[in-house]
Amino acid sequence: MAQDLLSGERVLAFDLETTGISTNNDRIVQLALIGVDADELPIHFETLVNPRMPIPYGATNVHGIYDSDVKGEGDFSTIADKAFELIDGSVIIGHNARNFDMKLINSEFLRLGKLPPKPKVVLDTLEVVRRLKLARPHNLGALCKRYGISLENAHTAAADAAASMLLFWRLTVDHPSSFRRSITEVERWLVNGEIKSDASAIGRGIDDLGLVDPQGRIRKDGEQYVVAFGRHKGKEISQIISEDPGYLNWLLSPKGIEDDATRELIRNQYSL
């Protein structure tokens, strides 16, 4: 079933090892993208990354990567182009990939002032087991044990990525009726459950809009500027001006929009 579902696609299992669990503040220390291209030629990209910050003991205790292991490695900027090339337009498979790995790598790109890559779809095995209402526990190790998938070197990026790929295949075999749809429909099911309305009708999401500031807090949609974070996420600046002037004052401070040039741009655009 998985082979038919993914035929003709670049399919990559994706996993990160990091300095911690904050998708905004923590950094990548190891990245793995493993799979095949659209012609079924193998892809194996695995690398250590210097996070430019000390790796906490708690994180090292999980993945076994020490400061000394990454001391001679480049930081994320040295692999950003390769990561973008592989992820953008690909089918990404991973365990908790949507809410952790993708969010964290997006933060790394935004920190560089670059637009993050946009996968064709993210097929998250944690979301799959939850949608299928399988018995807990739902962590990768427990699921691999349940399905007889070897997970040697657990909590290394390559091992976890490969295991998530095998887990996805096994779930499609055991629950074929849930995967008799296109990959975009599978992703929509994973995110929203069984819905009949066409979600594409709502138009472009915030992540599709162009960056204005390096942090990605302000996006541009045509001639309008859109807030991409906080309680007014998704609203145009013009709407906030009329609805919540107090918030606008905060937004135009360094605590809101960090980038000086972007704050000045907004003031000039709206004659503030």
Q: Which of 221, 257, 254 is nearest to 239 (CA)?
A: 221
pTM, 2 dp: 0.73
Where residue 2 falls among pLDDT bands split at 50, 70, 90? Answer: low
Q: Is the pLDDT of residue 271 over 90?
A: no
Number of neighbouring beta carbons within 10 Å of residue 136? 9
Q: Which has more pLDDT, 148 or 1?
A: 148
Query: What tens digit of pLDDT does each residue of 35-67 get?
Result: 999 999 999 999 999 999 999 999 999 999 999
* Mean pLDDT across 168-187: 92
- Which are the contacts of 107, defined by CB distance < 8 A and separation ≥ 6? 23, 24
Q: Classify 61 as helix, strand or coil.
A: helix
Please give the structure tokens belonging to residue 121: 């779809």
- Give the separation between CA 107 and CA 116, rounded to whole angstroms: 8
Ranges of each domain in the chain: 2-195, 210-269
Query: What tens digit of pLDDT does each residue of 196-211 get?
Result: 444 343 445 677 788 9
Where residue 191 falls among pLDDT bands split at 50, 70, 90? Answer: very high
Where residue 117 falls among pLDDT bands split at 50, 70, 90? Answer: very high
pLDDT of residue 3: 60
- Give the separation between CA 108 and CA 24, rounded to whole angstroms: 8
Q: In the Cβ-directed half-sphere of 58, how many Cα atoms lie within 13 Å?
A: 4
Number of neighbouring beta carbons within 10 Å of residue 123? 29
Q: Is the pLDDT of residue 95 over 60?
A: yes
* Average pLDDT of the chain to the nearest whole number: 90
Any alpha helices (H) in the chain, and if so which ranges? Answer: 2-5, 57-63, 67-70, 80-87, 102-111, 125-131, 140-146, 157-174, 183-192, 237-243, 245-251, 260-269
Q: What does residue 178 show for φ and ψ, rounded to 5 degrees?
A: -75, -15
Q: Please state which CATH number belongs to domain 2-195.
A: 3.30.420.10
